[in-house]
Structure 1
Amino acid sequence: MNNNMSAQEARVKWSLVAIGIAGLSATPAVAQEGDGGVVREARPSKSVEDVLREEHTLFDNRFSIEPSINYSYSDRSKLALRGFLALDAIFLGELNLDGVETHITTFDLNMRYGFSNRLELGVTIPFVYRSTTYQSIGDDLSTERESEVNVDEAALGDISATLSYRLLPETPTRPDVVISAGVRAPTGKDPYGIGLREDDNTNLIVPTELPTGNGVWAATTSVSLLKTLDPAIVFGSLGYTYNFEESFDDISASSGDQPGDVDLGDSIQVGFGTAFALNERLSLALSYSHEHIRKSEITSNGSTSKVIDSDANVGVFNIGGTYALNDSTSIVTNLGIGLTDDASDISLTFRMPFQL
């Protein structure tokens, strides 16, 4: 009987050990510290954290510095007719093909600090270098000669700050919801009152300098959603930008000061996409963003008028990826392809977030 009891006790002990081992292997999201006491859940992989940082907001109670460089290129051609139509069939005058090539390189210094797992502050300081080439057929009134002038500018851009708050954390049935509010200061070179010049022996008139900012204060608000659908992450956002009306001593490109008020058109932004954490360090994201900008208005000498061709629709398809070098540093790339006439033809961004 003692032998039977010993055998039964041994079977019970081995069963308990097996159950304990199975229980430990079935809970990989739980981490232990000290003498084996459970204290917290394990952090997500670094690739998932990078997706959260780039497409949403990562509230991790850490200070991060994110230098970045963005290059965008656009090429616009416009047929210019200077004359009149005779007998409804014959055009008398000048026929010019004008082209504008724009290169914009922006160096950004982004700083973020998470006060808690719900509140984060971000500040962006941009430095802008612009180079624009103006081309026109008709140099010296000849249809066989082309004139070309290049104008460039390098200066500080508009500094912005954004405060983000996690309204609802993600659950198995609900996405993570974050609301944000921000402000943009007119620290860059404004585009108003810039003079024009004409090169010798050409029919091409170009600005004397280029702007690096909008020249007005702006307030932004947005809401973003993110849901983890293993192995994918889906996200979307909706935002609105309000530009405050501003007075300037000169809003005309002609000689002499012409004071007036400028009311830039407000804009609404929408975006959506999906991302995949390919492994512990590498992720890939595909997204689309669209911005609709309303017409601007100017007030001068007591009369208000809308600025022709100041409204825009900017649609961009984005292909992005992140690679974690280590637990505190990542490399982020993004390629933007313009899908509308008002968007840049191509935009390329490199970022390197450092977490301290």
Structure 2
Amino acid sequence: MSIFKLKSLIVLLAFFSVSVAAEESSASNKNEKPKRVQTVADILEQPGVLTPKGSFVLDTSLSYTQNSSNSVSVVGYTVLPSLIIGLIRASDIDRTTLTLGVSGRYGITNRLEVEARIPWVYRSDSISERDLNSGSNQASLRTVDGSDLGDIEAAFKYQINMQEAPYWIGSLRFKSTTGKSPYDVPVNNLNDFEELPTGSGFPSIEPGISMIMPIDPAVIFMNFSYIWNIKDDVEVDITVADEDGQNAQDIRVDTIDLGDTIGFSAGMGFAVNPKFSFSIGLSHKTILKSKINGSTATDAKLLQLDSLSFGANYAVDRDTTINIGATAGLTADAPDFQLSVRVPYTLK
């Protein structure tokens, strides 16, 4: 994974160098800013009307995500349809994720902006499990956590038209592999994490297109995106038996191709007064099947993530706003609940 991490950091440095060069050139040539529509698209983190030329927005965010799942797993094999040799485990898992993010957006022109985001991730899983065929009448509780730098992201956004609505914005986002990969953290003999990862372990490229339609006093917005996860070779520790029948560790290299993600979201924002607005939106994501060494596993499946979002935006002054958003999962694969607070501050 070190080669991709090095490439990711090189790309991010290139993005920052572009924004610094643009800042120096804009100091000697300041044009009049065109008329821009006021939107509340930032509440749901949709690409909206972009940062004006020469302006820098520092965006600090904190998000809390809660998810739970119940599962039954079998460590063994089936002799007959009704006879299983091995261990049957039932588990109830509560997952909590806290993400502190710092983002920066700079307007290279009135049509083009560059963005970078650095997250710090803390994850904690509380696992209550019981071995059904061990005679235990009590469930054991196990807690696993992990905290570290997440996957750093960088993006370009370009506003296609400026004069007439609806406004169209194209975006291209790149995600690095600076977070801890699931293949870089230790696991036990049952393949359970002993420490939780903070990144996906694979770089990705996400092109997207957004539409913003102001209908005074409301704003309708839609977004379509596609996340392409770049496949990579990973080293996997496996246990094999030697000639004496003793278990020994060996290293196997697998080519992992994570399933790509197709995303669509839409919603409406409504301005109550010049300082306060709120929004409601619906988001859908389809995660395609993953592949290992070019083949799709027999137990692989499509994941459908649907969620309903609510948001509120309050303008403290001309340069500072407070955004609060809540998201509720509608399908089994989506997170149960997410709460986020963002404070964008504009530096001119």
Q: TM-score, normalised by structure 1?
A: 0.77
Q: In the TM superposition, what whole-angstrom CA distance separates every residue of 1:250-275 from its partner, at most 9, and x where no partner exists?
A: 13465432212111111111000000
Gaps spanning 5+ residues in structure 1: where?
1-38, 199-203
Shift of residue 153 of structure 1?
A: 0.5
Q: Which amino acid aligns with 1:269?
A: G
Please report the RMSD computed on the Cα atoms of aligned residues, expressed in angstroms: 2.8
Matches within 5 A, 1:1-356: 48-51=38-41, 54-59=45-50, 60-61=52-53, 62-80=55-73, 96-138=89-131, 141-169=134-162, 171=164, 174-192=165-183, 194-197=185-188, 206-248=192-234, 250-252=235-237, 255-299=249-293, 304-306=295-297, 308-309=299-300, 311-356=302-347
Is the CA contact 1:217–1:243 (under 8 Å) kept in the aligned structure 2?
yes
Q: In the TM superposition, what whole-angstrom CA distance separates every residue of 1:307-343 from its partner, at most 9, and x where no partner exists?
A: 7346421111100011011111111010000011111
Is the CA contact 1:192–1:252 (under 8 Å) kept in the aligned structure 2?
no
User: Could you tell me how far apart the structure 2 residues matched to 1:322 and 1:97 are?
Assistant: 43
Alignment partner of 2:174: what SS? strand
Shift of residue 52 of structure 1?
A: 5.6
Alignment partner of 2:251: what SS? coil
Q: Which amino acid aligns with 2:107?
A: G
Moved more, 118-127 or 74-83: 74-83
Alignment partner of 1:313: what SS? strand
Q: Which amino acid aligns with 1:126?
A: P
Is the CA contact 1:152–1:210 (under 8 Å) kept in the aligned structure 2?
yes
Alignment partner of 2:160: what SS? strand
Shift of residue 227 of structure 1?
A: 0.5
Q: How many residues align?
A: 304
User: Could you tell me how far apart the structure 2 residues matched to 1:222 and 1:290 are?
Assistant: 14
Is the CA contact 1:240–1:269 (under 8 Å) kept in the aligned structure 2?
yes
Shift of residue 170 of structure 1?
A: 5.0
Q: In structure 2, what is the equivalent of residue 31 of structure 1?
A: none
Higher RCO, 1 vs 2 (CA within 8 Å, ≥6 residues apart)? 2
Shift of residue 82 of structure 1?
A: 7.0
> Which of these two proteins has the greater Rg computed from alpha carbons?
1
Shift of residue 42 of structure 1?
A: 7.4
Is the CA contact 2:33–2:110 (under 8 Å) kept in the aligned structure 1?
no
Q: Aligned pair in 2 of structure 1 residues 307, 157: CA closer, same or farther (>3 Å)?
A: farther
Is the CA contact 2:111–2:158 (under 8 Å) kept in the aligned structure 1?
yes
Gaps spanning 5+ residues in structure 2: where?
1-31, 240-248
Q: TM-score, normalised by structure 2?
A: 0.79
Q: Aligned pair in 2 of structure 1 residues 330, 277: CA closer, same or farther (>3 Å)?
A: same
Shift of residue 143 of structure 1?
A: 4.0
Q: In the TM superposition, what whole-angstrom CA distance separates every residue of 1:139-164 from its partner, at most 9, and x where no partner exists?
A: 89234110111111001111111101
Q: Aligned pair in 2 of structure 1 residues 170, 78: CA closer, same or farther (>3 Å)?
A: farther
Q: Aligned pair in 2 of structure 1 residues 114, 157: CA closer, same or farther (>3 Å)?
A: same
User: Could you tell me how far apart the structure 2 residues matched to 1:278 and 1:319 are?
Assistant: 15
Shift of residue 169 of structure 1?
A: 2.5
Q: In structure 2, what is the equivalent of residue 16 of structure 1?
A: none
Q: Which amino acid aligns with 1:189?
A: K
Shift of residue 205 of structure 1?
A: 6.5
User: Could you tell me how far apart the structure 1 residues matched to 2:77 and 2:198 are?
Assistant: 38
Q: Which amino acid aligns with 2:213?
A: K
Shift of residue 197 of structure 1?
A: 2.4
Q: In the TM superposition, what whole-angstrom CA distance separates every residue of 1:272-327 from its partner, at most 9, and x where no partner exists?
A: 0000011011010000111111111112xxx7443734642111110001101111
User: Could you tell me how far apart the structure 2 residues matched to 1:270 and 1:252 are?
Assistant: 38
Is the CA contact 1:99–1:134 (under 8 Å) kept in the aligned structure 2?
yes
Q: Which amino acid aligns with 2:67?
A: S
